[in-house]
Structure 1
Amino acid sequence: MLIRWLLAAIHLLAYGFALVSILRRSVALRHCSTSAGLPAVFHADNGWAVSAVVLIVTGAMRAFGGYEKGADYYLHEPLFHLKMGALVLILLLEIAPMIGLIRWRIALKKGVEPDLGRARRYAGIGVVQLVLLVLMVFAATGMARGIGLPDNAV
């Protein structure tokens, strides 16, 4: 029981950290016109990466590790599919910013000024990711309350 509670708490906290990190990265990217603004972008990006890993690990443990209702429940829950669809979209959207920010980090290590021409595009991607993350929270809270299931399945 204690591990279930701790996993749920850590999972929920990771949503908050992810939301703040994506928002901070998007704001920093929107204002980033020179490499002087990149430390704030990288700091927020690191927070987003850590929170994403925590979300995925704790979520997988809760859904498939035998700590919660079990895989059969989640795999037959429509809101779980919505939540996982949103997660997949977030991760797919993350590919371009992730590659771009890796390139910027490499350029800085080589002493080269990175091309920040895509910074605003990456900020826009972050806004879409924020909306999807909020959708995930709504799906999760709906699942916790049996929304979307037949009355006899709760």
Structure 2
Amino acid sequence: MLVRWLLAAIHLLAYGLALASILRRTWALRRATVPAALRSVFRADTGWGISALFLIVTGLMRAFGGFEKGTDYYLHEPLFHVKMTLLVLILLLEIAPMLALMRWRAALRKGSPPDLRRARRYAHICVIQTVLLIAMVFAASGMARGIGLPTGVV
């Protein structure tokens, strides 16, 4: 019981950290016109990455580790599939910003100015990710209340 509670709490806190980090990264990317501005982008990106790791690990443990309602419940829960689809979309959208930030970090290590022309485009991707993350929270809270399941299954 204690482990279930802690996993749920960490999972929920990770959503909060994810939201704060992605909003902060969006804000920082919008202002990234010079290399000196990238420090805040990188810090926010680190928070986003850590929160994503916690969300994925605790989510997998809760859904498939025997700590919650069981794998069968989750695999037959429509909102779980919605939530996983949203997660996949977020991760797919993350590819371009992640690669760009890796290039920017490498350029700064070499002493070269990074090409920041697409920073605002990556900020726009972050906005889309934010909306998808919020939709994930709605799907998760619906799952917790049995919304979407046939009557009597909960």
Q: Same fold (TM over 0.5)?
A: yes
Spell out structure 1 runs of 4+ moving beyond 2 A. none
Cα drift, residue 152 of structure 1: 1.0
**Aligned positions of 1:135-150 closer than 5 A:** 135-150=135-150
Which blocks of at least 5 consecutive residues in structure 2 are unaligned? Answer: none
**What per-residue deviation string (whole Å, max 9, x for no partner) do you get for residues 46-102 of structure 1?**
000000000000000000000000110000000000000000000000000000000
| 1:45 corresponding residue in structure 2 | 45
2:10 is the alignment partner of 1:10: yes
TM-score with structure 1 setting the length: 0.99
| 1:128 corresponding residue in structure 2 | 128
**Aligned positions of 1:3-152 closer than 5 A:** 3-152=3-152
**What per-residue deviation string (whole Å, max 9, x for no partner) do you get for residues 104-153 of structure 1?**
00000000000001100100000000000000000000000000011110
Q: Aligned equivalents of 2:87 and 2:103: distance in 1?
A: 24
Q: Aligned equivalents of 2:94 and 2:118: distance in 1?
A: 13
Q: Aligned equivalents of 2:33 and 2:40: distance in 1?
A: 12
RMSD value, Cα: 0.3
1:78 partner amino acid: P
Which blocks of at least 5 consecutive residues in structure 1 are unaligned? Answer: none
Number of equivalences: 154
Q: Secondary structure at the match of 1:151?
A: coil
Q: Aligned equivalents of 2:125 and 2:97: distance in 1?
A: 8
**What per-residue deviation string (whole Å, max 9, x for no partner) do you get for residues 27-62 of structure 1?**
000011000100000000000000000000000000
Seq. identity, %: 72
Q: Aligned equivalents of 1:62 and 1:91: distance in 2?
A: 20
Q: Aligned equivalents of 2:130 and 2:47: distance in 1?
A: 14
